[in-house]
């Protein structure tokens, strides 16, 4: 199942539009949730890049600073075809700090820098802020307004976006080949394992969208805490859980497949197991890889969701998402893009 086949939560995208006509149409600002310590052997950089992958940007920084790539730390990866800001740490133990203002080009510049005690770790971020411009917008604007209001109020299904499945969309097929014995590099292997897990999650979520339970509890539900990787349940659904679910403090969840018993029960477990049973090779490969059961929220509620129609037939969207969520998943409910 590719992302084009996934069900819509709000009736289908009423618009067509172009996204990323220019890098400036897709702006992303990383939210770490903390700042630099003020001292230490690492330098905490805030960089702005465009037209570069995060790997390409960090390679430039390492060469400029005269350090090995292992001395560089990041919290997350950012899009190439975008204007993005993010944090990068550079370990300079015993080295003279360079003049960061000299590291300036059309594709990369250092916005701020300060000393820090620790290397930035992958995943150590709160989320990202987005400003996206959809151009050459066509379609039913009245219906689009209804969808925009629904997204602001209810959120969207928290699908893994197409980026997770590779440029050619064949990461799941490559994962199957790997499980059948094909040799791959360690870094690629980790990517393929993530794609296999994501595919199974999307299958479960797609079924929950089709039966209108993606944003409500069903029997045997396990809940994810908003803004956290913690989850709990199942437990008897009561007024307190209902209030937390309605406020967005907790979300229904789906499985990230691995070893161990499903924590869900009853209707929820049966639905999840049925989707896993439809992909036995993927499940067997993930179990053999030693991954443990985990959970991901089924619902994604953008923070500060706002929009404005512009005179040039474009639509400007602003919102923030937690780490691991995809802006294209939000856009998908509103517009078919190219």
Q: Pick from 78, 89, 81: which is nearest to 112 by CA?
A: 89
Pairwise CA distance, residues 294 & 104, whole Å: 42
Cβ atoms within 10 A of the Cβ of 242, count?
A: 12
What dihedral do alpha carbons 309, 317, 165, 159 form, nearest 10°?
-110
Contact assessment for residue 184 and residue 178, using Cβ atoms and an 8 Å cutoff: yes
Tell me if the bond preceding 207 is cis, omega within 30° of 0.
Answer: no
Catalytic option among 29, 37, 39, 79: 79
The CA R_g of the chain, rounded to the nearest whole Å, is 21
| Strand pairing report for 72-74 and 108-116 | unpaired
The C-alpha atoms of residue 287 and residue 195 are separated, in whole angstroms, by 14
| Strand 315-322 versus strand 127-139 pairing type | antiparallel
Judge whether 79 counts as a catalytic residue.
yes
The alpha helices in the chain, defined as continuous H runs, are 54-65, 141-154, 171-179, 186-210, 239-247, 266-277, 280-288, 327-332
Residues in the chain, how many?
338
**Residues 6 or more apart whose Cβ sits within 8 Å of residue 331:** 19, 132, 134, 317, 337
Active site residues: 79
């Amino acid at each position: 199942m590719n992302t084009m086949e996934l069900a819509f939560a709000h009736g289908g995208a009423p618009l067509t539009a172009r996204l990323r006509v220019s890098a400036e149409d897709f702006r992303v600002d990383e939210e770490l949730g903390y700042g630099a310590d003020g001292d230490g052997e690492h330098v905490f950089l805030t960089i702005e890049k465009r037209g570069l992958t995060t790997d390409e940007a960090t390679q430039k920084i390492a060469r400029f600073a005269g350090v090995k790539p292992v001395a560089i730390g990041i919290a997350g990866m950012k899009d190439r075809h975008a204007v993005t800001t993010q944090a990068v740490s550079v370990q300079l133990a015993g080295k003279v700090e360079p003049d960061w203002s000299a590291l300036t080009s059309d594709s990369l510049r250092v916005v701020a820098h300060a000393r820090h005690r620790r290397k930035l770790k992958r995943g150590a971020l709160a989320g990202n802020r987005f400003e996206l411009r959809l151009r050459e917008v066509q379609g039913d604007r009245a219906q689009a307004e209804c969808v925009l209001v629904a997204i602001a109020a209810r959120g969207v299904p928290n699908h893994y976006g197409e980026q997770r499945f590779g440029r050619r969309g064949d990461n799941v097929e490559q994962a199957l080949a790997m499980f059948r014995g094909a040799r791959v590099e360690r870094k690629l292997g980790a990517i393929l394992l993530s794609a296999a897990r994501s595919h199974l999650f999307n299958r479960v979520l797609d079924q929950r969208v089709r039966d209108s339970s993606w944003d409500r509890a069903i029997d045997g539900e396990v809940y994810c805490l908003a803004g956290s990787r913690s989850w709990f349940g199942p437990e008897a659904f009561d007024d307190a859980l209902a209030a937390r679910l309605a406020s967005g403090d907790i979300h229904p969840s789906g499985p990230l497949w691995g070893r161990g018993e499903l924590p869900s029960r009853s209707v929820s477990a049966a639905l999840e197991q049925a989707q896993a049973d439809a992909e036995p090779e993927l499940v067997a490969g993930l179990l053999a890889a030693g991954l443990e059961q985990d959970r991901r929220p089924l619902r994604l509620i953008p923070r500060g969701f706002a929009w404005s129609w512009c005179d040039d037939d474009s639509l400007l969207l602003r919102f923030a998402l937690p780490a691991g969520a995809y802006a294209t998943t939000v856009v998908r409910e509103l517009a078919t893009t190219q």
